[in-house]
Structure 1
Amino acid sequence: MGRERVQFAESFDVVVVGSGAAGAMAALRSADHGMKVLIVEKAHKFGGTSATSGGVMWIPNHRLDSDVGDSREAALQYLDATIGVPVNRERLEAFVDEAPAMLRYLKSTGVPVAAAAWPDYFPDRAGARADRSVIVPTFDGRRLGDERYALMREQYNRFKLFGRYAMDLTETFALMMQSKGWRAVAGKMIGRYWLDRGTRKVSHRDKRFTQGAALMGATYEQAFARGVELRLETKLDRLLVDDGGRVCGVEVSNFGRTYAIEARHGVVLAAGGFEWNQELRDRFYPVPGLTRHSSTPEDGNRGEALIAAERIGASTEHTAQGWWIPTMTLPMKGASNFHEIHQAAFDVGRPWSVVVNRKGVRFVDEACGYDRFGQAMVRDHLETGANMPCWLIFDAKFRRKFSAGGLMPTVHTLERKVPADWWDHYVFRADTIEALAAKIHLPAEAVMRTVANMNAYAKTGVDPEFGRGMNPYDRMFGDPASAPNPNLGPIDTAPFYAVPINNGDLGTKGGLRCDARARVLDGAGAPIPGLYAAGNNAGTPFGDTYPGAGATIGPGMTFGYVAANDIALRSANRRALEAGDAAQGRAPVAVN
């Protein structure tokens, strides 16, 4: 559409589509470059998928601690050892180089950050470390103001104690593992919530923003302080292109009203992936799976921005895989006609359990990183046709101590408190392994053989099939009380249980193809002027792999930062040319 045929309702220097971590960083950095910035968000609340996440950023060579021995070379060595498909090398190196700069900038704005002791997801590969994941400590949500505090997207019940009390990562692991003193931790959380009488007069929501909410709350506090405007219930309909082929604005809709907004210097697409668009899943994925198995906000990321960019010639990359995570489905409490998705990322690798396909056999180290688990589900289904779902089988010892997706341990949910409609529909139970296999229509002999093998492995502490519990990442989520291997334990105490495990996701790995400067590329590999993408709206720089905790948010924020820098550089150059600097002998900055 030509510029002269568009009647812009208003004008900004930069328009950011999407309010998650990538968009928030693009907006914050653009504002610090002196630009007038608007974020448009189609949802009723802001923060995107990031606000509901663990809020971790994977940042190699961050140097938050002076004695950290990480390096650019070690990071690239590790990535080279894990990535299994061709990737844009310049873009990959740009991430490694710019991620530490982004983190230093974020910290300089007033957002506190800290390194977490979280092993890389391929701990046996060259260059792997256990300190590249970065978190933001708990944030007081009311610092955003009571209206904005209520309008940030709230975390799922699975990230809260009893669906109400916010948990940071330390509290989460203490309760999840029932570590020494966990009851005191729970009591402190509950007491802290109810003693906060001022907040209780405003909202039921815990003012303690933790994990993803902490990251987004702290970042938005800085963005709002710099004048960034945020507009909710505002959906991208079209990208507007001038006669020179440059993206010059967006057409958006709000409750049926459609209008155009000029973006003088750039549009940044940061609207997430396409995991809630079944048509795109069917188009891109070798095993599509179902939208409803995703663990991201329901019907949220539908790929509208990707589709809008494709309509003006943008290309895509790495679209064959998602950021996989095992999930299970249960009815919502108090509303059994509606269902809720529960993550089972760590449950599948606990002792006293095993995961099998529909042939009754194992197909993966169940305690591996959740993305690797999902990749194994896809691979096994392509080979056997007997996965998707697979089955988590466990015994009474597991049931007493650990959750199985949304089924809480008996210390929280006694057998008699499990809703009657769950049994043998969502959660299966029997007095013998043979009877359990019959209930879930698996070959009993194969399942019993698999369980017998696991019981033998539990005695020796060695899993000769897949090496479960034999690396630092596995052991981090095992049970230290289970010896000699914290991820193995005999499945021998009745009753026995099973729950179906689906291949859910944390979003899509693939998206718009971008260069090292976050510019969206057309089919010939040339940048589309004025158009940028970051986060899951763009293809991951990592290709087919998930290198460590925070490998979605880390690159998302990094390329949001890179996009803002490139827009600022080009806008300064454009203004210099328009002001006649070149004619006065001052050479413009090269921005090719």
Structure 2
Amino acid sequence: MSSVESYDVIVVGSGAAGAVAALRAKELGLSVLIVEKAHKYGGTSATSGGVLWVPNNQLTPNDDSREKTFSYIDSLLRGPVQRDRLEAYVDEAPKMANFLISTGVPLVQAMWPDYFADAPEARADRSILCDTFDGRELGTHFVEMREQYNRFKIFGRYTMDIGEFFAISTRGPGWIRAFLKMVWRYWSDLSTRKIGGRDRRFTQGAALMGHIFKQVFARGIEVRLETRLDKLILEDGKISGITVSNFGRVYDIKANHGVVLAAGGFEWNQELRDRFFEVPGLTRHSSTPEDANRGEAIIAGMDIGAATEHTESGWWIPTMHKPMPKAANFEEIHQAAFDVGRPHSVCVNRKGLRFVNEACSYDEFGIAMVEDQKKTGANTPCWLVFDATFRSKFTAGGFLPTLIMPDSMISADSWDHYIFRAESIEALADKIHLPAVELKNTVNNMNEYAKSGVDKEYNRGSNAYDQMFGDANVAPNPCLGRIDKPPYYAVPINLGDLGTKGGLKANAKAQVLDGQDQVIAGLYAAGNNSGSPFGNLYPGAGGTIGPAATFGFVAANEIAVSAAKGAE
């Protein structure tokens, strides 16, 4: 490989894991190249909510601690994990956050309850995020960053930050003013409208990645797009580089000190889903960028003997699909993470029975779908059933509240295919082929629970996390409202995902391990192409991006240490 180009570090993938690894390696004096197979950079992270779960972050001084963090996590773990890797995450995550802040990335605490609010030492200050970002600060790279989905926009155009999303999706105080401000801000931005339709105001995951990549580009790090990893080059027991392809041209790049795999999971590879998942689901139900994360990095690692772990599950999220506006024969996926737990609704399996506290975290909702499918064979999909009160107030996936999207605006070919409507629960049950008696009993039970404020089956609305996504105007329980105002509606809910929890097995230093748990020299992994430090657990908002960024940071540190030793 003496005649090929070389870098100290090659990073495969441009999401949070890869971007942080590259930024940290550059700060430590190493030459870095990021290769990205897509024609946009930012990865799945740019399309996400942009939250990082960083326990004991101390961005605002508080009484959180390492000990309290482990009291919380240890009470929830579902199976064996690498203890030293989990400890490394908890110890290194605050250092990663402080590093990003030191480079100019403005991280702040988000008052977001941990996903298991009743667990020991649960808190509401472990999630952190970035404020909005002006995309034009990226200069010529503005148009090359992966754009957020329509689900984070109004009418596929106006971007929303998290506060605006909650205000508008629940018609909370000031929501009309927030909406009008978004419209004015967009159309008054004449200079950006000359470039294209994209809102220059980056929010949520786009804000996080915008801030990080501003620092990446400021340091002269190259991001090479449309460059796919084909294989890892193993020489004398060490990874010495990669083979990539670009529009059919295949070539090698040498890595002097390390390759960091940060290319996402395998959720868009049906063969791997069928091989690993207990309930495979379909690739098309994933809410990550279409056909993006196909597991190429995982496959490349397995090809040279790398082990895998925690591949049996995804980062689940309920999704629904609907026709894509102005694009014949295409459908778009919409997340229904919070919709399924709003008052005036209930989720049932195909027997017409509940199977979960609908207001729980989206990953727990997905786990419940999987378990119910294994038990009854009557889930995946399940059904979100709601009444006209819900329809007037809340989103049902891609179907916006009636004030914004009245029934008359829903296309004729969506009715009785993507969304169902009837004047009675019995008629609705007939349309969606559920047993009417069971569905009617379920709805009657929910109405009783709404009256008393107590869900006798699943305790919905009993903790701070549940209540965060309820309706403060509904009493006595903000998550329970009567389902009694016709017409009645139903939307099928898929077993969607935010990616996969498992991938290459890596140790506490982000080094990839082989089948005998020996380090594969020169190879590192971070993000969803490596196994989650939590196993099959999603502890809080940002439980995907937090570890991804942290082990990208850890990998860069380890490569720098190794490079320094090699120079001695």
Deviation of the 1:274 alpha carbon: 0.2
Alignment of 1:16-27 (within 5 A): 16-27=11-22
Is the partner of 1:555 in helix, strand or coil? Answer: helix
Q: Which of 47, 60, 67 does residue 65 from structure 1 map onto?
A: 60
The alignment covers a number of residue pairs equal to 568
In structure 2, what is the Cα distance between the partners aligned to 1:196 and 1:499?
37
Can you list the C-alpha shifts for 1:471-511, whole angstroms capped at 9, x where unaligned? Answer: 10000000011111001011111100001000000000001
Alignment of 1:210-359 (within 5 A): 210-243=203-236, 245-359=237-351
Per the TM alignment, residue 537 of structure 1 is displaced from its structure 2 partner at its CA by: 0.8
TM-score (normalizing by structure 2): 0.99
Q: How does 1:140-539 map to 2 (within 5 A)?
A: 140-145=134-139, 147-243=140-236, 245-539=237-531
Q: Tell me how far 1:176 sits from its aligned partner.
A: 1.1
Structure 1: stretches of 5+ with no match in the other structure: 1-5, 577-592
Q: SS of the residue aligned with 1:82?
A: coil
Deviations 1:100-119 (A, max 9, x none): 00000100001101000000
Picking from 556, 561, 565, the partner of 1:564 is: 556
- Give the match for residue 98 of structure 1: 92
Alpha-carbon separation, structure 2, partners of 1:249 and 1:417: 54
Spell out structure 1 runs of 4+ moving beyond 2 A.
6-9
The separation in 2 between residues aligned to 1:415 and 1:558, in whole angstroms, is: 45
Structure 2 counterpart of 1:30: 25
Give, as a single letter, the amino acid of the residue that structure 1 aligns with 2:94.
Answer: P
1:194 deviation in Å? 1.4
Q: Distance in 2 between matches of 1:434 and 1:261?
A: 64
Which amino acid counterpart does residue 4 of structure 2 have in structure 1? A
Q: Distance in 2 between matches of 1:175 and 1:205?
A: 20
Gaps of 5+ in 2: none
Cα distance in 2 between the residues matched to 1:312 and 1:7: 22
The CA distance in 1 between the partners of 2:402 and 2:319, in whole Å, is 20
Q: Equivalents in 2 of 1:8, 1:315: separation in Å?
A: 32
What whole-Å deviation, never above 9, does each CA across 1:227-282 have from its counterpart, x for those lacking one? 21110000000000112x10000000000000000000000000000000000000
> Which stretch of the first structure deviates more once superposed, 170-179 or 308-317?
170-179
What is the SS of the residue equivalent to 1:391? strand
* Aligned residue in 1 for 2:4: 9
CA distance in 1, matches of 2:325, 2:191: 28
Contact in 2 for aligned 1:7/1:260 (Cα 8 Å): no
In 2, the alpha carbon distance for the partners of 1:154 and 1:408 equals 21
Alignment-mate amino acid for residue 392 of structure 1: L
Counterpart for residue 584 of structure 1 = none
Q: Which deviates more from structure 2 when the two are superposed, residues 185-194 or residues 356-365?
A: 185-194
Three-state SS of the structure 2 residue aligned to 1:107 is helix
1:131 and 2:136 equivalent?
Answer: no
Instruction: Give the AA of the match of 1:104.
Output: N
1:52 matched to 2:47: yes
What's the CA shift for 1:9? Answer: 2.4
Deviation at 1:8, TM superposition (A): 4.8
1:581 is aligned to none
1:555 maps to which of 528, 547, 550: 547
Hey, what's the Cα distance between the residues in 2 that align with 1:139 and 1:456? 46
Amino acid at match of 1:202: I
Q: Which string of whole-angstrom CA distances, capped at 9 and with x for unpartnered residues, describes residues 381-402 of structure 1?
A: 0000000000000000001111
After superposition, the C-alpha distances for 1:415-450 in whole angstroms (9 at most, x for unaligned) are 111100011111011111001001111111100010
Cα contact 1:29–1:565 (8 A) shared by 2: yes
- Describe the shift of the 1:336–1:496 C-alpha distance in structure 2 as closer, same or farther (beyond 3 A): farther
Inter-CA distance 229–396: structure 2 relative to 1 (3 Å threshold) = same
State how far apart, in whole Å, the 2-side matches of 1:48 and 1:135 are: 17
Give the AA of the match of 1:201.
K
Aligned partner letter, 1:127: E
The superposition leaves residues 167-224 of structure 1 with CA deviations (integer Å, 9 ceiling, x where unpaired) of 1111111111111221111111111111112222222211111110111011011111
Aligned to 1:109: 103
Q: Which digits, 9 at most, give the CA deviation of each residue in 1:49-107, with x for residues without a partner? A: 000000000000000012x1110001111110111110000000000000000000100
SS of residue matched to 1:342: strand
Q: Which amino acid aligns with 2:37?
A: K
Q: CA deviation at 1:337?
A: 1.3
Describe the SS at the equivalent of 2:291: coil
* Residues in 1 aligned to 2:3 and 2:493: alpha-carbon distance in whole angstroms: 49
Please give the TM-score of this superposition, normalised by the length of structure 1: 0.95
